A and B are shown apart, each in its own frame.
Chain A
Amino acid sequence: MENTAKKFTTKKEFFKQYKKKSRLQEIWRSFLKNKLAVVGLVLFALIIIVAIAAPLIANYNNAAIKVNVQGRLSAPNAEHMFGTDEMGRDIFARIVHGARISLVVGLSAVAIALFVGGAFGAIAGFFGGMVDNVIMRCMDVFLCLPDVLLALAIVAAFGTNQLNMTIAIGLSFTPKFSRVVRSAVMTVRGIEYVEAARAIGATNTQIITKHILINCIGPIIVQVTLYVASAILTISALSFIGLGIQAPIPEWGNMLASGRAYMRDHAYIVMAPGLAIFVTILSLNLLGDGLRDALDPRLKQ
């Protein structure tokens, strides 16, 4: 008995060298096949690098917020790559520093939505029945409100600052995440290994965290990338209407808003922040779509 088992194992080892490809590697390979997704990944990585290295690229105090009336509204030139705005501030420096706010607020808002919404969704999906009904109907109420409107209400009620805006956007995305996590949990909870985990005495908490959520990670990652894009857009929208980041702090949305008056003669003023938003959202959407295709074997050709 012992002997046959040993032999069997070595034979298995022998075949293993031909298919030594982990699941992650496989996902990575099919992700690389999607050229658009790779473009998205590279663009988003660049944006992150720019945001992290912002102080090295442009001086915040001297270029991004210092008013310089003599040099106002100059078109893009050698000194000012994207030109200067109505107060003579370098638009390039403002875009670079604006990326920090967009990314920090966008990512932390989605993190809030993921943890709050994910927890509710996981509980609803796992226990089902009455618990599910109560949680999801509450979520449905919030889902009825458009997210900008909900965020707007929260910001208007608690005052406009970066923290409030993050919380507002996070809470307005919460119901969406709870729905995604709930449906992912519901598909996994019926699989036999969940029952097997229960049969060895795992508690509900252990089953949810160790066995269920880890197997739902694919759809969750995809949602996260797509909603970070959506959050960044919401920040800009809120700032544009004056309820988000306040001047003079550079933020793409409020740059658009303040540049609006000069748009007719100095189009570059709104073009730069507009393009920044566009590229960021595009890169995240391409990345999210690519990840979804790579993680979902059914969509493979």
Chain B
Amino acid sequence: MDIKKVNEKGNTLEIKNLVIHYVSEDEVVKAVNGVDITIASGKTLGLVGETGAGKTTTALSILNLVPDPQGKIISGEVLLEGKNVLTMSDSELEELRGDKVAMIFQDPMTSLNPVLTVGDQIAEGLEIHRKISKGEALKQAKEMLELVGIPAERAGEYPYQFSGGMKQRVVIAIALACSPDLLIADEPTTALDVTIQAQVLILINDLKQKYHMSMLMITHDLGIVAEVCDEVSIVYAGRILEHGTLEDIFDNMRHPYTKGLFGALPDIEVRRTELKPIKGLMPDPTNLPSGCPFHPRCDYAMEVCSKLPPETKWLSDTHCVECHLYKDTNESML
């Protein structure tokens, strides 16, 4: 494993105050509204939130792949090992994509090209970034296949000859082929059934440790977060409402929204209790509520919540929350 170049803080990824809007003729969809993310080298951050909270858009911005004509990056920086991805030229981006940062897409059924063999698809990244011959790339592709638990002989087969779980393994092999520093996993198990989910998660975890990668895990499944992540950010309407280590979030959750998410989980011990869904729906991203975006659904909403956006409050060195409830709290009170 080559020694990773990291900036002075040792962070693989730093996103600072990222704002992304989707602009169409008659409306502006505010997808991401000031997200800050830091992933230390070798660590895994879980990005948790409902559908439409801006998780995927944030992830795409790391590769500078936000859909072009509509998606506008209004402000912010995405620093990968200290270099701003958003100001890179096309050729710099092509070098970066797949080599330094790789992405596992949500749906393995559509993220593989149906007319190319899986071996070719894994080899493609190697050919581009390692500048090696096709034969050599195919050989390494076969090794990658073995690594994700698929026999190398199957490299010559087409995606339709694989089951969903195996396709996702192929997608993982493609992402890991060039041993990236940062792996973005965009709901990697959403399209798979539960038994395969476990296999794929174990695989991702094993490989992450083997290659000492940093990872951004996007999901709405708190079970997955508990399994693979070191830190968790809770995203709501394009803002991070609470951030902390796994313990901070799972054992000392502070934000009413985080509490709501956990309240909506079934309890395996007490099967007869009713689930407590969070009332209401995600706000319309074209017309976000004033103040705190969560206030219309919040049980603890105060007058100030609808007027002023809450500021980030650090409750400890690792745990921060964006909520008016904790404005005057300090560490000793918790």
A142 to chain B, nearest CB (A): 27
A217 to B116, CA, bound (A): 13
B87-123 contact mask (Cβ, 8 Å, vs A): 1 or 0: 0000001111111001101110011111110000000
Using a CB-CB cutoff of 8 Å, which residues 106-160 of chain A contact chain B?
128-129
* B63 at interface, CB cutoff 8 A: yes
Q: A6 interface residue, CB < 8 Å from B?
A: yes
Chain B residue with the shortest CB-CB distance to A12: B163
| Cβ contacts under 8 Å, A217 to chain B | 115
**A4 neighbours in B (Cβ, 8 Å):** 199
Interface of A is mostly: helix
Within residues 167 to 200 of chain B, which ones have a CB less than 8 A from any CB in chain A?
A: 171, 174-175, 177-178, 199
**Which chain A residue has the least Cβ–Cβ distance from B67?**
A195
How many angstroms from the CA of A129 to the CA of B112 in the assembled complex? 27
CB proximity to A under 8 Å, residues B184-219: 199, 202-203, 206
**Those of B47-95 within 8 Å (CB) of chain A:** 63, 65, 69, 93-95
Chain B residues positioned under 8 Å from A192 (CB to CB): 105-107, 110-111
A5 within 8 A of B: yes
Given A5-B150, A9-B151, A202-B94, CB of A196 within 8 Å of CB of B111: yes
Interface size range on B against A: 35 or more
- Chain B residues within an 8 Å CB radius of A43: none
Q: How far does the alpha carbon of A33 sit from the alpha carbon of B98 in the complex, in Å? A: 44
Please indicate the chain B residues that have their CB under 8 angstroms from the CB of A23 in the complex: 114-115, 158, 160
B285 sits at the interface (CB 8 A): no
Contact B65 A201 (CB under 8 A): no
Which residues of B pack against A, CB within 8 Å? 63, 65, 69, 93-99, 102-103, 105-107, 110-116, 124-125, 128-129, 149-151, 154, 158, 160-163, 165-166, 171, 174-175, 177-178, 199, 202-203, 206
27 contacts between A and B (CB under 8 A): A1-B206, A4-B199, A5-B149, A6-B151, A9-B166, A12-B166, A22-B158, A23-B114, A23-B158, A192-B105, A193-B112, A193-B114, A195-B105, A196-B103, A196-B112, A197-B124, A198-B65, A199-B105, A200-B98, A200-B124, A201-B94, A201-B98, A202-B128, A214-B116, A215-B113, A215-B114, A215-B115
